[in-house]
Structure 1
Amino acid sequence: MKKFTLPALKKELAKKTKEELIKEISSLCQEFPQVKEYYKAQYGDTSDILKRYIDIIEKEFVEGKRRGMPKARLSVAKNAVKDFRKLITDIELVADVMFTFVECISNFNDEFGVDEEDYYTDPEDMFEEVLQLLKKNGLSDKFQERAYDIVNRATDSWGHLDSLQERYEDVYGDFIR
């Protein structure tokens, strides 16, 4: 049995006709939702994908009317951000998902008084990462109000407010209430 390698795959795909490749990709889209989602993202249909990933994060940390307490699994929310970043290259959409992560967890912490450090450091790190991403791409001004609101609403537990404020000030200057 041959070992699977990318060059070997390319060689085999090069032998196929255009019609065979179309049929194979269509089959992959039908069989694997991730492949279908990838192609949707590649051809500009991002609104459903954005909503799906925001919903994943919100369902983890926002209390639903029929679900009771949120599950609050950091790993699920972090994976949603990571998976979204693999699919979408639009910095503004990526920032939207990253800010949603920070907002949901920060609000969850404020409402439920979580006593675990990761629930504060993970959103702080994500906040810093998204602010640096926006700064690098010249989009900081477009998201300043949202970043300000995140800091303004942050809980003071575990130094969360101070940490977010410091990161905000690194990009935007003094934080004035």
Structure 2
Amino acid sequence: MTKQTFTLTDLKKHLAQKSKEQLIADIAELYKTFSPVKEFYQAQHADISEIAKKYKDIIIKEFGGTGRGFPKARFSVARNAFNDFKKLTNEPALIADMMLTYVESTSGFCSEYGPDGEEYYTRPENMFTQALQLIQTHKLLEDFRDRAYSIVRNATEGYGHRDSLRDSYDDVYA
């Protein structure tokens, strides 16, 4: 016996058979049951700053810790928080803000703890470059100039981290 997958086409056919009231009830149930659905609708129809704060806090906590003990510093957690947030909005300024939060947190971790591993330096450098490209593409340079410079100024010298960030900064702001 073959198990058939429920495709998007199947879903559309299924939903087309429902009344408006049934669809509203289904969506309301999804909204109550699944927090990503709630966040999706909140991001589309309300102030997204509360949602942005939630995802920023995840990133900051991962690399800054809670004040007790060594931070876990898992790139997967920070990256997933960023990607989940990015699914909720197409607003370049909000995405750039989240990207810079990622860079500030991971780069700050490097300055504080000096981890021995190149990825701790290259990952924030790559995200910084991507953030600056997004900022430049959407003509948000002045909005983020001071913050971007602060990231460079506060970066550690380890593994050429500050120099790499400065090069990316100079490519966009010089």
> Smaller-chain TM-score range?
over 0.9
Distance 1:91 1:44 in 2: 17
Query: Is 1:150 equivalent to 2:154 in the alignment?
Result: no
Q: Which amino acid aligns with 1:130?
A: A
**Superposed CA offset, 1:58-88 (max 9, x none):** 11111323x3221111111111111111112
- Partner of 2:143, secondary structure, is helix
Identity across the alignment (%)? 52
- Helix, strand or coil for the counterpart of 2:79? helix
Tell me the equivalent position of 1:113. 114
Give CA deviations for 1:86-144 in whole Å, capped at 9, x if unaligned: 11211111111110110011111111111111110000000000100111111112101
Gaps of 5+ in 1: none
TM-score normalised by length of structure 1? 0.93
Corresponding residue of 2:99: 98
Cα RMSD between the aligned structures?
1.2
Once structures 1 and 2 are overlaid, which stretch shifts more, 109-118 or 2-11? Answer: 2-11
* SS of residue matched to 2:6: coil
Q: Give the structure-2-normalised TM-score.
A: 0.95
Aligned residue pairs, count: 172
- The whole-number CA distance in structure 1 between the counterparts of 2:124 and 2:79 is 10
Alignment correspondent of 1:58? 60
Secondary structure at 2:18's aligned position in 1? coil
Shift in Å, 1:2: 4.8
Q: Does the alignment pair 1:140 with 2:153?
A: no
> Of the candidates 20, 24, 30, which is equivalent to residue 22 of structure 1?
24
